[in-house]
Amino acid sequence: MIVLEVSIPVPLNKNFYYLPPESINPEYVVGKRVRVQFGKRTLTGYAVSSLNIEGNNSLKLKRIIEIIDKDSLITCETMELANYISKNYVCSLGEALASIISVSMKPPKRISKVKNTPTELVQERHILNIDQNKAVNLINKSLEKNIYTSFLLHGVTASGKTEVYINAIEYALKQNKTAIMLIPEISLTPQFVYVMTKRFGLKVGVWHSGISNIEKYKLFSKAKSIDIKIMIGARSAIFTPFENLGLIVIDEEHEHTYKQEQKPSYDAREIAKWRGNYHNAVVVLGSATPSLESYKDALENKINLIELNERIDGKELPEVKVVSLKNRFFKSSLLLSETVDAISKALSRKEQVIVFLNRRGYSPVIMCRKCASVYQCPKCSISMVFHRNPDSLKCHYCGETKSLPVACSACKSREVTVFGTGTQKVEDELKKLFKTARIFRLDGDTASLKENYEKAYNGIKNGEYDILLGTQMIAKGFDFPRVSLACVIDADTSLHLPGFKSVEKTFQLITQVAGRSGRGDIRGSVIVQTNLPNHYAIEHAKNHDFVSFYNVEIEQRKKLFYPPYCDVAKISIRNKDEKKAAKDSEKLISFLEELVKSYKLGLKLLGPVSAYISKLNNIYRKHIIIKGERENILKLAIFLDNFKQSWGTLIGIEIMPTDLI
């Protein structure tokens, strides 16, 4: 009797057996997604193989309810990659498969012939400068060799990295290969799609969380049949099923968005290296502010370093002015007079301005003036944020919404006020100060409407707006030649987070925001408002000096034994009951410490500590941190399944998290 082996995205490390639907050849089902009864639920699984079982064992098996796909989607590479993910990020094969081939992707009812409306291809070529030429030649040579090679393209902002990518992609296509290009932020999609389709027309596919499940299926099929040759997209585009993959580009490689936080907590950069190796392809990681990990790899010759030290066309890097917020805290406005002057001058010259603040909403703190108690989300241990239009309090973590309290819940005083500044408040201030300026705000609130990305991009490009205000969405990658001023309203927001990457992130953010300025004919300038004007992250960002920053920061990591000097994992212990969460985390750490000792794993365990947000959505969260070698961390992780926890406790592990808080 032939049965089908099905991988199901549940946290169980085994496959399950099903019979094919009545009168269907089992071989026809292999490689496809199927609907199956699993316990009381109906789930989507992956028919990974068929096998012959003897006797009547098959009598008890259930039949597959439905075959979802017409064509087989699972290849040999898919299986090998799923195994790699399952092992390296500690998840089941089914969970790994679900990250490669989404369960929700939906085949269209009828396959309509795609109308090819050819866009006009612009063959205008930017002439590459000497550095760009050198970079392209190095990459192209590797493309010819058909050996896996990886590069770190470290180029200052506006040094023309995109043009290097385009030339390399073009060369890959010439060799009948395909290319994947990852971008860190969905807000950048319109810009890259514009640039790439102008050059490559219909060969380009675009993949991100905003596209429909049917559209995803179509793109997946087109990539498989090489009807498209380039895929641009966010993190999960790394799984594009190209079979003759020649080149993978990861732009702004330092961005944390390339790391998935949920299970499986894969890192698109590691997947890129794996696929590069599998296909003998070239991997290019590009950034103006490389991650410490990648730059260290480059200095140790584990990855080839290419540097672009100059902006294109001999443009100068913008002048960065750091202004101290010290002693000015209680002023009613968060825009210092220097900043207001600079904006007003830029606007009077008909130039554009970018204003960056990494905090959305109106005011992040609601406090009682009498007893100083802070209003927190009832479900989470974090302050709710005051939003305008309509006036409400929102929790940015669980989504809870409340109206502004009339009286303090602790002392009943009516003197409840809001403190601090978010993007909405800055917008109000800008509107008051610059009455005729046209302002576009792009942050987590406005960006919930997908068309707002395009509106922001096209609006700024075509000069319909004077000021682009927003959170990290506007900090990276945008290329607007008329922007001559970039303002960082509060450089310290990220510095105050207790993660080991906080300083690195701050340096990256300031450098990236600064990089938006002066990309056209006008020399740019930048204003950074901060309470810590002498902090090394801010000083080195002011001087556009990545290498000096790297040298200081890498010493810190070495001293404190953090990545890249060790590998890390974060175990999270969650329970609705605070005591159970605490008890289980204590029990778990002694259990793990025993294992570390008896198997001589040489790992350091830290904790348990309460998570930075110790209660989220009414669930208490504790962390245990593991430091040491990846291989040994994975050995230890296998035992997590054996740990007997209390009822309701959930234990998860994230391998190489971007923060430990």
| Residues contributing to the site for Zn ion (CB under 5 A) | 368, 370-371, 377, 379-380, 395, 397-398, 400, 408, 410-411, 413
Contact of 456 with 475, CB cutoff 8 Å = no
Do β-strands 352-356 and 365-368 pair in parallel, antiparallel, or remain unpaired? unpaired
What strand order describes the sheet that includes 650-655?
604-616, 619-628, 567-575, 650-655
Judged by beta carbon, residue 10 or residue 398, the one nearer Zn ion is: 398
In the complex, least distance from residue 196 CB atom to Zn ion, rounded to whole angstroms: 39
- The one-letter amino acid at 252: E
Judged by beta carbon, residue 415 or residue 641, the one nearer Zn ion is: 415
Q: What are phi and psi of 607, to 5 degrees?
A: 115, -160
Judged by beta carbon, residue 279 or residue 394, the one nearer Zn ion is: 394
Judged by beta carbon, residue 29 or residue 385, the one nearer Zn ion is: 385
Contact of 522 with 514, CB cutoff 8 Å = no
Judged by beta carbon, residue 184 or residue 422, the one nearer Zn ion is: 422
DSSP 388: T
The answer, yes or no, to whether the previous bond of 107 is cis (omega within 30 of 0) is no
Judged by beta carbon, residue 214 or residue 410, the one nearer Zn ion is: 410
Judged by beta carbon, residue 111 or residue 410, the one nearer Zn ion is: 410
Judged by beta carbon, residue 368 or residue 522, the one nearer Zn ion is: 368
In the complex, least distance from residue 645 CB atom to Zn ion, rounded to whole angstroms: 25
In the complex, least distance from residue 371 CB atom to Zn ion, rounded to whole angstroms: 3
Alpha carbons 435 and 433: distance in angstroms, whole number: 6
Element (H, E) at 151: strand 149-155
Judged by beta carbon, residue 366 or residue 603, the one nearer Zn ion is: 366
- The one-letter amino acid at 94: G
Query: How many CA atoms are closer than 13 Å to the CA of 342, on its beta-carbon side?
Result: 27
In the complex, least distance from residue 379 CB atom to Zn ion, rounded to whole angstroms: 4
Judged by beta carbon, residue 223 or residue 408, the one nearer Zn ion is: 408
In the complex, least distance from residue 366 CB atom to Zn ion, rounded to whole angstroms: 11
In the complex, least distance from residue 441 CB atom to Zn ion, rounded to whole angstroms: 23
Alpha carbons 240 and 101: distance in angstroms, whole number: 9
Please name every residue paired with 261 in a beta bridge, in sequence order, or none if there are none.
none
- Classify each residue of 497-512 as buried b or exposed e, where b means 16 or more C-beta atoms within 10 Å of its C-beta: eebbbbbbbbbbbbbb
Alpha carbons 560 and 556: distance in angstroms, whole number: 6
In the complex, least distance from residue 416 CB atom to Zn ion, rounded to whole angstroms: 8
In the complex, least distance from residue 411 CB atom to Zn ion, rounded to whole angstroms: 3
In the complex, least distance from residue 398 CB atom to Zn ion, rounded to whole angstroms: 3
Collect all residues with Cβ–Cβ distance below 8 Å to 442 and sequence separation of at least 6. 187, 452, 453, 456, 468, 469, 470, 471, 473, 474
Q: How far is CA 1 from CA 29, 45, 61, in A?
A: 15, 21, 11
Q: What are phi and psi of 582, to 5 degrees?
A: -70, -45
Contact of 465 with 479, CB cutoff 8 Å = no
Judged by beta carbon, residue 359 or residue 505, the one nearer Zn ion is: 359
Mapped onto helix, strand or coil, the DSSP state of residue 124 is coil
Alpha carbons 309 and 160: distance in angstroms, whole number: 10
- The one-letter amino acid at 216: K
In the complex, least distance from residue 613 CB atom to Zn ion, rounded to whole angstroms: 9
Say how far residue 644 (Cα) sits from the centre of its chain: 34
Using alpha carbons only, give the angle 53, 54, 56 rounded to the nearest 5 degrees: 100
In the complex, least distance from residue 399 CB atom to Zn ion, rounded to whole angstroms: 7
